Amino acid sequence: MSEEKSRPPQDRPWESGWAPDTTRAPGTRRLWLAGALALATITACVTAITVMNSEAEEAESRAAEPSTLSSSAPGGLISFASPSEAGTPKPGADRRHPSPTPTTSAPSATPSPKPEKKAPKAPKPPKASPTASKRPKPPSSTGISIRSVNFSDRYWRVSDGYVRLDRIGNGSEQREDATFQRVAGLSDSSCYSFTTADGRYLRHRSFVLVANTNDGSSLFRQDATFCPRVWSRSGTLTLESVNYPGRFLRHRNFQLRLDPFENSQQFYADASFQIVSGLD
């Protein structure tokens, strides 16, 4: 039987000269177990956090979905249910209606107007219009004649229905054809109209001055009305059409016409006339 040395208690290795084995790290198995436990704990925590986050996102997505789906929506489109009229309160429904105010208890009620006892005053006569003084005076009984400025020996004269600038001889017929009555304008009383001895009116037709019988139309009244425009030459005037503003009576080749205004000496001379006493 071999001789064996008894192993002393490990808590007193110095009593028999025995020393612990130093080639192995103390508690290695326990360290591995502790590390594995810590790793499992961390893994479980990460998994739990991930699961909780996914459940929260799923709950939020469900809450964002519409509450009602329409089965008739084509192509999988989502249609939202319209709120019913009974479930939606109308604005102002909770306000109280104002109670009617009694009219008998209102101390500040406006009394009804009493009828006036005084007799109404007689209306004052209307004041004279400021333009009344500018209207032409009534024509003289002797009539007038119209003489050209740049051809002082020629006068307006009706010949074959047209108005021309002619030299007037001693014959009574020519003098009568060159004498007119100046009356208030048919279309504008502040302007002029001219009548012949037989009752015809001078009017423009196709921009040519002629003598026609009044047919009572509005066009005739306008064609037979001319407004005087005084120019720089003393005692001369020109006649502007009422229904064609900017066109003036002038002579061209001794024919009276209605032409547009021209800023030239020739136009001024041809469109300037003098009203003199009648030749008849």
> How many domains does the chain fold into?
1
Of 180, 171, 176, nearest in space to 209 by CA: 180
Residue 102 lies in a domain: no
**In this predicted model, which residue has the larger pLDDT, 28 or 1?**
28
Q: What is the CATH number of the domain that holds 169?
A: 2.80.10.50
**In this predicted model, which residue has the larger pLDDT, 73 or 16?**
16
pLDDT for the residue numbered 166: 94
**In this predicted model, which residue has the larger pLDDT, 49 or 62?**
49
Asked if 207 and 257 count as a contact pair (C-beta separation under 8 A), the reply is: yes
Asked if 269 and 276 count as a contact pair (C-beta separation under 8 A), the reply is: no
Give the DSSP H or E segment for 167.
Answer: strand 162-167
Residue 271 lies in a domain: yes
Structural domain containing residue 233: 138-277
Q: Within 10 Å of residue 222's Cβ, how many Cβ atoms?
A: 18
Of 175, 167, 151, 162, nearest in space to 277 by CA: 175
Asked if 254 and 165 count as a contact pair (C-beta separation under 8 A), the reply is: yes
Query: What are the tens digits of pLDDT across the range 136-188?
Result: 444 444 699 999 999 999 999 999 999 999 998 887 788 999 999 999 999 99
Residue 273 lies in a domain: yes
Residue 10 lies in a domain: no
Instruction: Report the alpha-carbon distance of residue 156 to residue 173 in Å, rounded.
Output: 14
Instruction: Report the alpha-carbon distance of residue 219 to residue 225 in Å, rounded.
Output: 10
The β-bridge partners of 240 are 227, 248
**31-35, 109-113, 275-279: the lowest-pLDDT one:** 109-113
pLDDT for the residue numbered 142: 64
Residue 82 lies in a domain: no
pTM of the model: 0.50
Query: What are the tens digits of pLDDT across the range 116-140?
Result: 555 555 545 444 333 333 444 444 4
Residue 267 lies in a domain: yes
